[in-house]
Amino acid sequence: MTTGPRSRPPRGFTLVEVMVALMIMAVLAVLAWQGVDGIVRTRAASQARLEQTLRLNTVLGQFEQDMLALQETTSVPGLTFDGATLRITRRAENGLQVVTWSLRPDADGTGVGNWMRWAGTPARTANELQETWLLTQQFQGNEPGQLRTLGGITQWQVYCYRGNSWSNCQSTGNIVANKQVLPAGVRIMLEFGSADLNGTLTRDIALGP
């Protein structure tokens, strides 16, 4: 009796082959994870940078609005700067408003500070306006209403454009008929010294016609 060729049983994977396959899969998984992790980190950094830029533009936009609403008065100065605090008198919906922008140092003593904004209640009379202006002379930086706008600032400077040239706003401005003549333009320079922001930012704002 003749018989045909004997069929071989199905051959499985050897242990070595399984181990090699597992190693390849592990390497591919690590590479895939590194790629995904890099994408996530890049996206997070880009999002943080975008939010930081939007906040910076918003703050500068508010500062520009304050400058464009400057109002000359005979009761209080329209604009003064003492090297740390900028005090301005601006038009508001219900009268005149005193607004301050100041640089307040952090408590950690690193030399990096916060740019703060404070806006007083709109005044309808000269006495109310003068009281608010005098109140700002006593500010320590922790008064109610002080809003932290930007951090990481080491110093700032304000320049006024008068007589076809820029000069430090700490110098005396023009006084005509007991009323301060406002400058035709204002320049601010913010110096950043944090890990997120560094360098100097300059912004010019035209106030004249």
Residue 20 lies in a domain: no
Which of left, alpha, beta for 162 (phi over 0: left; psi -120 to 50: alpha)? beta
Higher-pLDDT residue of 207, 40: 207
Mapping DSSP onto H, E and C, the string for 137-199 reads CCCCCCCCCCEEEEEEEEEEEEEEEECCEEEECCCCCEEECCEEECCCEEEEEEEEECCCCEE
Residue 19 lies in a domain: no
- Say how many domains are in the chain: 1
Residue 16 lies in a domain: no
Residue 83 lies in a domain: yes
Average pLDDT over residues 102-123: 86
C-alpha 106, offset from chain centre:
16
Average pLDDT over residues 174-197: 77
Residue 194 lies in a domain: yes
Residue 40 lies in a domain: no
Beta bridge partners of 114: 104
Determine contact, residues 205/186, Cβ cutoff 8 Å.
yes
Q: Give me the pLDDT at residue 172, please.
A: 56
Tens-place pLDDT, residues 56-97? 899 999 999 999 999 988 889 999 999 889 999 999 988 999
Q: Domain range for residue 108? A: 50-206
What percentage of the chain has pLDDT greater than the value 90? 42
Tens-place pLDDT, residues 127-183? 999 999 999 988 887 788 889 999 889 999 999 998 889 999 886 555 444 456 789
